[in-house]
């Protein structure tokens, strides 16, 4: 009765170690004793015929197979037993696919006014990186002039407001002395490194801080574009 129920075949193979019946049948109440000679091995019959074929719409198949494309679904169905589609395969308008593949809408570009030198400075920080630089730092801060696109990058030990402020003071002293002009505006994101004593210094110096939206990589756009350019070059060198 046991073998008829689970469709087993008994084959005698002298000298071959047996497979335990409890591991095959998953029935703990059946035990098998290992004999030193004339072992009996239980072999399950894997030849199972599928007589039932389920006919489903292609929208249902599309959802059950994990939302594949039309071409992928065409190639997958002939290799699957027990299921067939009804009607011709056609492009399906699937709302979950549209929502899953949706991205943020591109922000349209705005032509900026022709600024004077040092009139608008964009700044952003980057890090920490897993590998230390030669000077022991793992962060950097960038200052970009909107008129000339001149960029000054300085490596810093951390992203605290005091550290970023010291780097900005060095940038300010150098650029104002060389150009004879004063920094009037600075564009940053909502990071805490541009809060606290950094804001206090800007108010004392008469510099206006222009803040972007929090968790948005388009503010400030020039600084984010510099991040991307440097990372592209770094990845290319690492690949080589």
Name 94's Cβ contacts closer than 8 Å, sequence gap at least 6. Answer: 59, 62, 63, 67
Q: Give the helix/strand (H/E) hosting 11.
A: strand 8-12
Instruction: For the chain of 240 residues, list the mean pLDDT of each consecutive stretch of 10.
Output: 55 54 46 46 44 76 82 81 77 79 68 78 89 89 91 92 95 94 91 91 93 69 81 74
d(CA 58, CA 90): 8
Give me the pLDDT at residue 109, please.
Answer: 62
Decide: residue 164, CB within 10 A, 0-12 exposed, 13-18 middle, 19+ buried.
buried
Give me the pLDDT at residue 228, please.
Answer: 81
Tell me the three state secondary structure of residue 46: coil
d(CA 164, CA 65): 51
End-to-end CA distance of the chain: 67
Name 144's Cβ contacts closer than 8 Å, sequence gap at least 6. Answer: 121, 122, 123, 150, 151, 152, 222, 223, 226
Compute φ and ψ for 184, nearest 5 degrees: -110, -35
Q: Is the full-model pTM beyond 0.85?
A: no
Q: In the structure encoding, which two tokens stand for residue 143, read together?
A: 């200052």
């Amino acid at each position: 009765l046991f073998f008829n129920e689970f469709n087993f075949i008994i084959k005698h193979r002298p000298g071959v170690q047996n497979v335990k019946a409890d591991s095959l049948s998953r029935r703990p109440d059946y035990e098998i004793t290992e004999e030193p000679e004339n072992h009996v091995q239980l072999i399950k019959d894997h030849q199972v015929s599928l007589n039932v074929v389920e006919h489903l719409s292609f929208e249902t198949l599309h959802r059950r197979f994990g939302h594949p494309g039309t071409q992928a679904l065409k190639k997958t169905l002939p290799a699957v037993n027990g299921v067939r589609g009804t009607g011709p395969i056609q492009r399906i308008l699937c709302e979950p696919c549209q929502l899953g593949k949706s991205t943020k809408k591109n922000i349209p570009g705005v032509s900026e006014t022709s600024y004077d030198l040092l009139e608008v400075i964009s700044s952003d920080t980057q890090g920490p990186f897993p590998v230390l630089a030669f000077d022991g730092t793992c962060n950097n801060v960038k200052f970009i002039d909107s008129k000339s696109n001149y960029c000054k990058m300085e490596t810093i030990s951390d992203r605290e407001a005091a550290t970023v402020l010291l780097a900005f003071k060095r940038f300010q002293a150098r650029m104002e002395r060389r150009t004879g002009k004063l920094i009037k505006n600075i564009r940053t994101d909502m990071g805490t490194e541009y809060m606290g004593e950094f804001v206090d210094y800007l108010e004392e110096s008469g510099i206006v801080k222009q803040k972007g939206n929090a968790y948005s990589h388009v503010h400030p756009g020039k600084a984010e574009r510099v991040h991307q350019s440097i990372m592209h070059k770094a990845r290319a060198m690492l690949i080589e």
